[in-house]
Amino acid sequence: MHGEKDWAGRAWVFGVWSLVGFFILNLAAMIGTVVVNSFGTRWFDTWLPASYTVRWYHQAWDEFQLPDILIVTMEVVGAVVLVSALIGVPAAYGMARRDFPGKRAVMLLFLLPLLVPPITYGIPLATVLYQAGLAGRIWGVILANLVPTVPFVILIMIPFVEQIDPRVEAAARVFGAGTGRLFVRVLVPLLAPGILAALLLVLVRTIAMFELTFLTAGSDSQTLVVALYYAVFAAGVRPGQSIDAMAVVYMLTTMVWLLIALRFVNPTQIVVRGRR
Amino acid sequence: MNAVPWRLRLQNRGLDGVTLLVLPAVGFIVALFVYPFLYGLFLSFAPMQGPWFANYKKFFGDPFLYDTILTTLWIAVPATLVNLLVSIPVAMRVRLMAHPRLLTTILVIPITLGTVLVAEGLLNYLGPRGWLNRALIFFAVTDSPTRLVHNYWGVFLSLVITGFPFTFLLIQSYVTGIDPSLERAGAMLGARAPARFFRIVLPLLVPGLVITLSLSFVQAFSVFPSAVLLGAPAGPTRVISIAAYQAAFEQYDYSMASAIAMIMAVVQVAIVVALLGARGLVYRGPATGGKG
């Protein structure tokens, strides 16, 4: 089974791995140019810049108002993580434990925001939020970002809830715990690994969520990724190295959380939305 | 007249306090997903001027607008197919690896970074003075820089960089669900690798392939930031999402923007439904072996 031993089989295996290698090489080079450029002074017709500096980071820090943008990003991401947990985890518990009429329809309702791409529903959503006077402010950005994350938390959490033996809950109820106490004392501690995984995934996805934030953000409610888009869009106004310095700050923010998340979740979970 | 209290009757149908916990989430999605969609649908039939179908008439009467559907398909379909066709053999090999986690971690990076960063990275990397063109000239593949940004290829390549990992990780999760003993049985009966793939694995993989194809296509069809930053948003890569965005935020015609968003959704749904319909034509059943 481990490959045919003739030359055609070997050539095929070699070909497949070279393709993967080529992809990773290009990926690394693409990220590498951004990092190298952000530290370079002048870089024209050579493989590497003439000399290195950290000047562009100072410049990006001041010119792009990075401190403000980072604070807004933290506020948006924090609020999205908190609210999607508060709405999503109880809903996942209800979905996992009860069979009620219309459950399939409700499940479909939760699947749709994950299947329809953000730009498609983002435009009508932004229209409604503008009319409600919420878009252009941080609350509008938070509400828009919650649309995909609440169903995401629900779909990730349902299998985790199903793993808990219902007799544990029955025992707690026998000893007089109401639903609220049951949640705080029994379910949350038992579900902690699942909740942690779901929230880290929400966090990583929200930092990188461009479309919904872009459509609803005003000038003082931009997150890092939207600010980066505007910087690249208006390239030529500022030096490219300064834009790349900002890109590196964005990359670091994302990668730190990705690395933390990967300690608790399987990489495929970032793509495969909580099947099983 | 009825002895059973209503509370108990509801409980028997699965409706009690615990079921109510689902309500906030349902209310939230209805308010911020279903309502805006319906609102957009109605708004698209209430144009700024003209009869109720004026927006749709304008869209399908103006080549600058209706061509965006073809432009988007012309980018999204090849990119999706390339990603899918490369993902299958790679997933078949990765399945045999003892520790695929490092590879999957590397591949998750471009998805996590998102399209905006990939666009900025590719602008540097594929640009006339970028490393790729340097390497091509160095190895004497070309003698002058190849133009790869601000045209079709920039957007196409960005869809491959973010789309291939997405497609691969989905395919991989389906491939690992196929029982290896089925292939071993085929090998024992003398089937060589190509025959084992086409006669055993592929038929079992088709349902997963259809889902993957649908999800990857829908992602690619809604390409936006890279079409603006890496493409030529005024011409060859004026995709449908750019048309919708311009209507909403440059012309402030929310009615027209909603109409374009609805057309975008209809095209996506039509293609997904066609794919799922085609799936009904092939084998459906368990992908595991058993004693029979």
Map out the domains of chain B as residue ranges.
65-279
Task: Calculate how close chain B gets to A210, using CA atoms only, in Å.
Answer: 8
Residues A151/B64, Cβ–Cβ less than 8 Å:
no
Test mutation, A25, A38, A98, A162, chain B, max B CBs within 10 A: A98
Q: Is the predicted pLDDT of residue A1 greater than 50, yes or no?
A: no
Do residues A49 and A62 lie in contact, with contact meaning Cβ atoms separated by under 8 Å? no
Helices (H), chain A: 7-39, 55-63, 66-97, 103-115, 118-131, 138-163, 166-174, 179-181, 188-208, 211-216, 224-233, 240-262
Map out the domains of chain A with their CATH numbers: 7-53 (no CATH), 57-270 (1.10.3720.10)
pLDDT (0 to 100) of residue B287: 67
Which pLDDT band, with edges at 50, 70 and 90, does B87 fall under? very high
Q: For residue A5, what pLDDT band results from cuts at 50, 70 and 90?
A: low
Q: What pLDDT shows up at residue A247?
A: 92
With contacts defined as CB-CB under 8 Å, which chain B residues touch A107?
Answer: none
For residues A27 and B159, give the distance between their C-alpha atoms in angstroms, rounded to a whole number.
13
| Mean pLDDT score, B120-125 | 91
Candidates A120, A143, A153, A203: best to mutate against B (most CBs of B within 10 A) is A120
For range A87-116, the mean pLDDT:
90
Q: Which fold has domain B65-279?
A: MetI-like fold (1.10.3720)
Mean residue pLDDT across chain B = 88
Query: What does the alpha-carbon distance between residue A205 and residue A155 come to, in Å, rounded to a whole number?
Result: 15
Nearest to B122 among A30, A106, A251 (CB): A30
Tell me the per-residue pLDDT of B273-284, one tens digit each, with 9 for 90 and over: 898 888 777 666
Q: What pLDDT was estimated at residue A146?
A: 96
ipTM surpassing 0.95? no
pLDDT tens by residue, B179-211: 888 888 998 998 888 888 898 889 889 888 998
pLDDT tens digit sequence for B14-34: 777 788 889 999 999 999 999
* Cα(B284)–Cα(B203) distance, integer angstroms: 9
Residue A273 has pLDDT above 60, yes or no: no
What's the CA gap between A113 and B251, in Å, rounded?
A: 27
Q: Is the pLDDT of residue A90 over 50?
A: yes
CA atoms of B92 and B87, how far apart (whole Å): 8
Could you give the CA distance from residue B271 to residue B214 in angstroms, rounded to a whole number?
A: 8
Determine what percent of chain A is predicted with pLDDT higher than 90: 45
